[in-house]
Amino acid sequence: MGMIKGCINENCIARQKKTHYKKTDEFCSKCGNKLSYVCADCFKQLPDDSQKYCITCAARRKDKKDATKNGAKKIGGGVLAVGGIVLSAGKIVVDVMRKK
C-alpha cells in the first residue's frame, strides 16, 4: 500500500528533508536512529504499517477529494444547463430558417 519508513529524530537531516527509506532498512543512514513508519504527508510517526497517512492527513485528503468531486458536479451541471440553452436556441434558429 506504499507505507513509508522514515527517521523520527527531530534533529536529523533525513527527517528535515523527509527522506524515505526502504522497508528493509532498519536504521537511519544519517543519525543511526531506528526507523519507523511515518505519514507520507507530515512525517508523523504511525503506530504500525497498516496505513500510509496519519488520521489528520487522511481526513484532509478525503475533504480535498470530496471538494473536487463537488466542484466537478457543479461544473458538469453548468455545462448541461448551457448545453440545454444552446439546443433551445438552435431549434429556434432552425425554425426561423425553415419559415424563410
Question: Per-residue pLDDT for the chain (100 aa), expressed as one digit of tens each?
Answer: 578 899 999 899 998 998 989 888 999 999 999 999 999 989 999 988 788 999 999 999 999 988 888 777 767 666 666 666 666 666 665 666 666 6
6 sits in which H/E element:
strand 4-6
Give the C-alpha separation, 61 to 5, whole Å: 20
Q: Considering the entire predicted model, what is its pTM?
A: 0.61
